[in-house]
Structure 1
Amino acid sequence: MSEAKMYVNPIAEKYSKDINGRVIVVDKSGIVKGDSNKEFLGETFRHKEIQNALNGQTSTNTFKFKEYGHVLYVAVPAIVQNRVVGATLLSISINDIYKDVNHIKLNLFFISIVCILLIALISFIFSGFAIMPLERFTKVINSMAKGDFKQRVEVNTNDEFKNMAYAFNAMIMKLDQVDKQRKEFVANVSHELRTPISSIKLLSESLLHQDEDDINIYKEFMMDIAAESDRLNNIIDELLSLVDLDKEKLHLNYKITYINFLLEKIVNRLKPLAEKKDIKLKLYLNEKIQIKVDSDKIQQAIINIIENAIKYTQEGGEVKVSLYSQGKWCIIEVRDNGIGIPENGLTHIFDRFYRIDKARSRKTGGTGLGLSIANQIVALHQGNIEVESKIGKGSVFYIKIPNDIKL
């Protein structure tokens, strides 16, 4: 027990903070040598996942608890010289993922219900002379309720029903696009979450297999684990940001903000990211501007835009950030000489989960939420974001915020 307190348990506690979860370490007899919550130290732990790990099998499972909600369990064996000497159990809350997925499902369900009620009402009013067109609508809506968004309403009349059919078909196409984006988003998030978790598992196993006592090696491994944990947290933070921005009565903490200083802080923060790709990140402060904004949220929007410019600019490229005013607008211009955006993608870049080049986006990281979050934040400040781009020459984002926001 004293050895666990001196060595194993402190590592378990630190690791649990990094992943925002719980870590339990047992020896080959199932006796707990490390518990980040200090609840089971010294006790024999007979959890199913631990027993599988002690038998040499990596085990994962999800549970739903009344008190904690959905929890992911990952148990891995600790193997030294082909012998299982213990096991580690990680438990991480995945409530946020379930909430977001359920929220998307609920929205689609409500849309289907509203459509069904709308068609039912029209059928009641015009049942005498419009039964056939309405039956076609009802048939398609029933297919939509079952998840089929490929059906279309065909109306050959030249009255309002034909116009309604065109509008309805356009709505179905939009819903089909949203459904595809939802499925793609769930797949992307699953991939993004699985990647850091797998890396953490691999790094922790490698750490357990280290025979050397060099503290620098342990520090290097722990820094890698912390980086993967940060990556996991970034994904969750973006999802939480979307949830916050969707609140009808979101409170913005307006205060006079010196935009010049804010941009200097942001650029200094992002320079290491640019330097990794040998990109020149330059700041041009053409005027001194102070306006009322929620500094934390507007900073998040600007960071998302600049990070996006850095991600899609080739090594050795250049990203310029400029500040100036134009009429009633404070304008923050972000200009890069990167890969550019196709013309047909300009109308969709602020859509949630939209990715112009899925292969490149996966390589550069992210979930396709950054620009959507930035656009919503600027819109909440009664502003807008305009984009100009040419393939192979780069893009320019104009973040426009009014100088006199009406509170």
Structure 2
Amino acid sequence: MVTILEVGHNDKKKFISVRWKLVSTYLLLIFVTLIIINIFISKTILNIYIQQKQNDTFTKANIISNRTRYQLASDRMNEEWVKKAINEYSKEINGRIIIVDKNNIVKGDSNNLFIGDTFKHDEIQKALNGENSRRVYNFRDTGRVMYVSVPVILNDEIVGATLISVSIDNIYLEVKHISRKVALISGISMLVTAIIAFFFSDAIFKPLGQLKNAINKVAQGHLEEKVNIDSNDEFKEVAEAFNIMILKLDQVDTQRKDFVANVSHELRTPLTSIKILSESLISGEDFNVDVYKEFLTDIDSEVDRLNNIITDLLTLVDLDKEKLTLDLKITYMNFLLERIYLRLKPLAEKKSIDLELVLNEKIQLKVDNEKIQQAIINIIDNAIKYTQTGGKVKLKLYNEGKYAIIEIKDNGIGIPEENIQNIFERFYRVDKARSRDTGGTGLGLSIAWQIVSLHQGTIEVESKVGVGSTFYIKLPITT
């Protein structure tokens, strides 16, 4: 009777076994993690694309405003070259351009529909009040449209406003296409993981079935039954503990803890760190509140580090040489460095670091403004991180032959000579413990190197331990 009941419920027990619980839980955690990562990647890419579109549109709007401000102020917007310029810019950005005077009268329209009409749009009003404005609308007929407006200023007086409207449906379609690819990759990864997990779980839990059979026989009175498991893992330890009963339980528990400690020492990545810390919390007993807080703090730190790595990896993907198209424009490097200086000065002041900017020469280069700015910020940020409180970081711009030199010098901890050749490698960190404390991912200098290389430039480093480091960003001067 017992045998019949056991057979009758065999399939049901299969679905509540430890094997199925562990495998299903593991797959569920992977599934949830992949969903979160996919959503994060999609949102991040969308924000980056929209921000780039916004910056480009603002730039175009300011250019148009500067070119037409004299004509707008003197009511000469009907000149043929002005109309032609507005139409050319409209075709270039694939959008509509409307220019109004300070009385909201339309003086220029790339579609020639509203000229002479009064045009009171929210973005126009903000521009006439001296504000740059941007807003995205979702129209039923035309889809998502970005409105960008800037004031037209002449002799410190607002004489009108420029409004540009451009469709951004293509951005959403591109992000949707990328999201589908990421989802497909995630689905394939999930399927492969599931297959591997089921195959491995079958092999892993086979000794457990042998142990169960032995326990059932002992329960029936066959005390001579022994468990012989031909493996070299925890199951063998459990079998040995079963054979000598309760006397060996403490030894097995010690071996288990030693095993976890050894594995945690070898694993390096943030995800595995989070997993180890979580397993330690789950498997530990009688932990007090302070221990829980300490573990959760470490997990939070690893999550932050993982976010930084994802962000930097997205940047590295964007810097793929085969796919990247640099948006090269003539840029006044003095103005660019001033903006970087003002942006990082508060960060330096938090550590009482004297951030100095020296601009002895006026230099303009043909660069991708946003990307070269990121490269410079990454290096200065490193200099601030690895300079002691009360130290000094100096940013200098000058010419040297056919190159413009951006020099970043600090009196920080310095870099050992044998490590200098490796600092631009991905994930390389001279002092891993210190990098973890400062939030470093080991990707910042690699990103800077790749950006500068794409501009046909180089980065040279001089450093001495205990004295400081000097980075020379050399960019070619093109005529």
Q: TM-score, normalised by structure 1?
A: 0.47
Greater helix proportion: 2
Q: Which has the larger radius of gyration?
A: 2
